[in-house]
Amino acid sequence: MNREEILVEVSHLKKYFASRPGFFRKRQTVVKAVDDVSFQIHRGETLGLVGESGCGKTTVGRTIIRLYPATAGKIVYAGLDITNFTEKQMFPLRKKIQMIFQDPYASLNARMTVGDIIGEPLDIHGIAAGRQRKEMIMELLNKVGLSPEHASRYPHEFSGGQRQRIGIARAMAVEPEFIICDEPLSALDVSIQAQVVNLLEDLQSKLGLTYLFIAHDLSMVKHISNRIGVMYLGKLVELASSNDLYQNPLHPYTRALLSAIPVPDPDTADQKQRIILEGDVPSPINPPEGCRFRTRCRHARTGCGESTPEMKEVEPGHFVACYLAHDGYSG
Amino acid sequence: MKNILEVKDLHTSFFTHLGEVKAVNGVSFAVGPGEVIGIVGESGSGKSVTSLSIINLLPFPGKIVGGSILFAGKELINLPEKEMQKIRGNEISIIFQDPMTSLNPVFTVGNQIMEPLVRHRGLSRDEARQKAIEMLAMVGIPSPEKRINQYPHEFSGGMRQRVMIAMALCCRPKLLIADEPTTALDVTIQAQIIELMKDLRDKTGTSIILITHDLGVVAEVCSRVIVMYAGSIIEQGNRRDIFYRPRHPYTRGLLRSVPGIRAKQKERLKPIDGQPPDLLNTAAGCPFYPRCEHAMLICAEERPSYTEFSSAHKAACWLYHPLAPRVERSI
Ligand SMILES: Nc1ncnc2c1ncn2[C@@H]1O[C@H](COP(=O)(O)OP(=O)(O)OP(=O)(O)O)[C@@H](O)[C@H]1O
Ligand SMILES: Nc1ncnc2c1ncn2[C@@H]1O[C@H](COP(=O)(O)OP(=O)(O)OP(=O)(O)O)[C@@H](O)[C@H]1O
Ligand SMILES: [Mg+2]
Ligand SMILES: [Mg+2]
């Protein structure tokens, strides 16, 4: 496996949602859900994407797989520019790119048996039928740690962790190479989260999968990702290897985010100096001019409101969009 | 000092058409004055039902079937609803997980804080208003004199949770029960609320029961920890006992299944295998027995009693019976 091979390349991606003028709103408003985001995902790696609710993580994922048309920018998958692909052109790729969703309760069709849920992608892509289809379903169930007799049952008969396994089995049915995992753990209990993480890691090493792993639980993201991107209000503000990001966070937002994680260790917790961000995330309809984080940033200075800082590689493989970090926090 | 709350051998069941669900099955604990005690456990382990039993707000078909709940020396079980109303929201306050469902959308935030002050404390409207502004300022709402006239939807999630806390504290309750007060919030907002809870702990002397599934939150704010599993307390102790000297295999398993945030090397997670038990068909033995890596014959047959390791620290596990084989610590 060539780690340097780029599987997904996103450049200057924008996704704006327009809301129609309504009774209370006279003018049309535009939500800049994703606003000029660029990154690459190498084949076989896991790229983590973190940030607070509403910062645009899901929209990035959905725009990459063309569930939403991009407003601007370019998406290249395995060397193909798919930005303006038609649904017909996308069809063969739909096999290779799969998505696992946040809510294992809502994302499975309640009226289908587990066997049919897992078998559906096999039917859609005409991969297998009859006996062979049945065998493949059994194999998939086995792969995710469920047993053959589960095939004839319905989703409501399963626990959250088991349902997430069903979702994973379904995603694996078509032998994908790239999987977008959108908060696959947040509905699960701590002891079950670890089961699902181990399963995702096993499948990755066995099948050479590439993951985009979206989450807001930073400790799990660190565990599973090779590199991590941090988003704030539609923008990527920092991107680095997971160790670099945790040991040497450069963006003030990343620092605040890391210091906010409650640590399950009393001594560390007692000594910790927490950076408390004041206020709330501003609205993506009217984001602050210049650096979007400056309204909550304790280092903000006049230049920060004048122009938007670009992502700059300040150390090998470590990108950050902050004027202070660009200057090494001097001055 | 005398305990504020003493729960003894509490049994609460839901009488469903499928049978009796033993949601709380023999729970005993005490809360001292000014103490912050954490209750952790997986989804469905009985944390919320325990707290709803205390304030007698069990949903149908739930019923307390045995035990005793002494609050400031007074038995709460079978207390007439009229007397319970005087205690609820006045001497015992509760904060629920979702602040939006617990605030009334048609009244201003100020009205909702003032109402119990007028009703329980007999304050005039002007006095109540002053007090409400004071409370909003205390929980860190900027310009409270203006905010007090706004409606819940004009507040962000974190601010609504602050309002809930202000409401819960304005009658100076002896006991505050906070049921997952940060679960629905973003990490940086969660951090604000954690700091606020710590502040309250240090400044007001109110006893707090903090229910959460996040071991990190417990490590940061609680002095004592109760670990629940399938309706029972399987271990309780001081914070350092639970995090540094856990005794029950379930507590150890929980601590092992979260990734160490400071771990430089990537280590495989160690999940607890299997699923939490079905409370409809509780077996005779230890509820954790089917998932326990150290299970012995006796564990399937008889419920273990508590072994005390110190006056504060005890666990219900057969491994600590004098005749049981020695087990290597594995954490
Ligand atoms: N279909 C849509 N129409 C209009 N606005 C949308 C749509 N989907 C998302 N948005 C808006 O775009 C922004 C980004 O949303 P997105 O769901 O991508 O955030 P997220 O980072 O995934 O958040 P979360 O952690 O809550 O899942 C939000 O302000 C959201 O309200
Ligand atoms: N209305 C009800 N009818 C029947 N059973 C119920 C009802 N409410 C709760 N239960 C059962 O009681 C048990 C304990 O539930 P409880 O809400 O206390 O769990 P919890 O520990 O608070 O979980 P969570 O972390 O998900 O909030 C669960 O097994 C649940 O199925
Ligand atoms: Mg999302
Ligand atoms: Mg609960």
Closest of A40, A39, A29, A35 to residue A14, by C-alpha: A35
Considering every ligand atom shown, identify the ligand nearest to the alpha carbon of residue B179 and give its number. Answer: 4
Which residues sit with their C-beta closer than 6 Å to ligand 1? A 17, 31, 33, 51, 53-59, 216, 284
The band of A181, judged by pLDDT with boundaries at 50, 70 and 90, is very high
Mean pLDDT of A233-262: 94
What's the pLDDT tens digit per position in B110-169?
999 998 889 888 899 999 999 999 888 878 787 889 889 999 888 877 788 888 888 888
* Atom 26 in ligand 1: residue holding the nearest Cα: A53
Of the listed ranges A15-19, A77-81, B256-260, the least confidently predicted one is B256-260
**Smallest Cβ distance to B188: which of A197, A260, A264?**
A260
Chain B residues whose CB is inside 8 A of the A51 CB are: none
Atom number, ligand 2, closest to the C-alpha of residue B211: 22
Give the DSSP per-residue string, B105-148.
TTS-HHHHHHHHHHHHH---HHHHHHHHHHHHHHTT-SSHHHHT
Query: Do B261 and A263 count as a contact with CB atoms less than 8 A apart?
Result: yes
What is the number of alpha carbons within 13 Å of residue A207 lying toward its C-beta? 20
- Two structure tokens written together for B72: 């400031």
Q: Helices in chain B by DSSP H: which ranges?
A: 47-54, 81-87, 99-102, 109-121, 125-138, 144-147, 157-169, 187-203, 215-221, 239-244, 249-256, 297-301
- Asked if the Cβ–Cβ distance from A220 to B259 is below 8 Å, we say yes
Q: What is the mean pLDDT of residues A282-300?
A: 90
Tell whether the model's pLDDT for residue A1 goes beyond 50: no
- Residue-wise pLDDT for B216-256, tens only, equals 999 999 999 999 999 999 999 999 999 999 999 999 999 98
Tell me, using a 6 A CB cutoff, whether residue B47 lines ligand 2.
yes
Smallest Cβ–Cβ distance between A269 and the set B186, B220, B262 belongs to B220
Query: What is the pLDDT, as a whole number, of residue B189?
Result: 78
Ligand 1, atom 8: closest residue by C-alpha: A59
Reply yes or no on whether the pLDDT at A48 is more than 60.
Answer: yes
- Residues on chain A touching B264 (C-beta within 8 angstroms): 243
Ligand 2 nearest atom to the CA of residue B16, by list position: 4
Which chain A residues are Cβ-neighbours of B269 within 8 angstroms?
194, 197-198, 223
Q: Which ligand is nearest to the CA of A71?
A: 1
Q: pLDDT-derived band of residue B283, with 50, 70 and 90 as boundaries?
A: confident
What is B232-253 written as a DSSP string? EEEEEEEHHHHHHS--SHHHHH
Task: Note whether A282 and A293 are within 8 A (CB).
Answer: no
Q: What is the mean pLDDT of residues B245-269?
A: 84
- Looking at residue B247, its pLDDT comes to 96
Smallest CA–CA distance from B266 into chain A, residue: A223
Name the token pair of A38: 């660029």
Q: Which of these, B26, B30, B28, lies nearest to B73 by C-alpha position? A: B30
pLDDT tops 90 at residue A314: yes
Residue A117 half-sphere exposure toward CB, CA atoms < 13 A: 26
Q: Which of A164, A293, A316, A310 is nearest to A227 (CA)?
A: A316
Q: Is the pLDDT of residue A217 over 80?
A: no
So what's the pLDDT on residue B154?
83
* Placement of tokens 């069903």 in the chain: A166
Contact B309, B50 (CB under 8 A): no
CB A177 within 8 A of CB A154: no
The residue whose CB lies within 8 Å of the most ligand 2 atoms, and thus the one to mutate among B17, B22, B25, B45, is B45
Three-state secondary-structure class, residue A150:
helix
Q: What is the pLDDT of residues B40-62, one digit of tens each?
A: 998 889 999 999 999 999 988 99
> Can you name the residues that pair with A180 across neighbouring β-strands?
A99, A212
Q: What is the CA radius of gyration of chain B?
A: 21
- pLDDT cut 70: percent of chain B above it: 95
Task: State how far the Cα of A242 lies from the Cα of A282, in Å rounded to an integer.
Answer: 27
A190 and B243: CB-CB below 8 Å?
no
Among B142, B191, B219, whose Cβ lies nearest the Cβ of A266? B219
Check residue B98 and give its pLDDT.
66
Tally Cβ neighbours within 10 Å of residue B207. Answer: 22
C-alpha to C-alpha distance for B41 and B184, rounded to whole angstroms: 17
Residues 6+ positions from B315 with CB-CB distance below 8 Å: B234, B235, B237, B247, B248, B251, B306, B307, B309
Q: Could you tell me which of A206, A211, A202 has the C-alpha nearest to residue A165?
A: A202
Name the nearest CA neighbour of A212 among A233, A247, A236.
Answer: A236
Residue of the nearest CA to atom 7 in ligand 1? A17
- Give the per-residue pLDDT at B1: 62
Which residue ranges form the domains of chain A, and what is each CATH number? 3-96+179-190+207-326 (3.40.50.300)
Give the strand pairing for B19-31 and B5-16.
antiparallel
Query: Given ligand 2 and candidates B39, B49, B64, B213, which is best to mutate, with the most ligand atoms within 8 Å of its CB?
Result: B49
The pLDDT value recorded for residue B275 is 78
CB contact at 8 A, B296 and B323: no
DSSP H helices, chain A, are: 57-64, 87-96, 114-124, 130-143, 160-172, 190-207, 218-224, 242-247, 252-260, 266-271, 323-326
pLDDT of residue A23: 58
* Residue B166 bridge partners (DSSP): none
Is the separation of the CB atoms in B92 and B168 below 8 Å?
Answer: no
Per-residue pLDDT at B74 = 95
The per-residue pLDDT of chain A, averaged, comes to: 90
For position B328, what pLDDT does the model report? 58
Phi, psi angles (nearest 5°) of residue B279: -75, -5
Task: Tell me the best of B11, B15, B21 to mutate to test the pocket of ligand 2, counting ligand atoms within 8 Å of each CB and taking the most.
Answer: B21
The residue whose C-alpha atom lies closest to atom 6 belonging to ligand 1 is A17
Instruction: Decide if B5 contacts B71 (C-beta within 8 A).
Output: yes
Average pLDDT of span A290-312: 93
Instruction: Output the CA angle A277-A279-A282, nearest 5 degrees.
Output: 110
Q: At residue B320, does pLDDT exceed 60?
A: yes
Query: Quick check: B314 pLDDT over 90?
Result: yes
Q: Does residue B296 have a pLDDT over 70?
A: yes
pLDDT tens digits, one per residue of A128-141: 899 999 999 998 99
Q: How many CB atoms sit inside 10 A of residue B244's CB?
A: 13
Residue-wise pLDDT for A70-114, tens only, equals: 999 999 999 999 999 999 999 999 989 999 987 777 788 889 999
Against a cut of 0.80, is the pTM above it? yes
String of DSSP letters for A59-89: HHHHHHTTSS--SEEEEEETTEE-TT--HHH
Contact between A191 and B266 using a beta-carbon 8 Å cutoff = no
ipTM of this complex > 0.85?
no
| Biggest CA pair distance of chain B | 68
Alpha-carbon separation of residue A237 from A12, A36, A57, A167, A288 (angstroms): 13, 11, 13, 31, 15
CA distance A63 to chain B (A): 23
The pLDDT value given to residue B331: 46
- DSSP letter string, B266-293: -----PPPS-PPPTTS--SS-TTGGG-T
**Contact assessment for residue B10 and residue B71, using Cβ atoms and an 8 Å cutoff:** no
- Taking residue A169's Cβ as centre, other Cβ atoms within 10 Å add up to 24
Neighbours of A123 (CB within 10 A): 13
Measured from the Cβ of residue A144, the count of other Cβ atoms closer than 10 Å reads 23
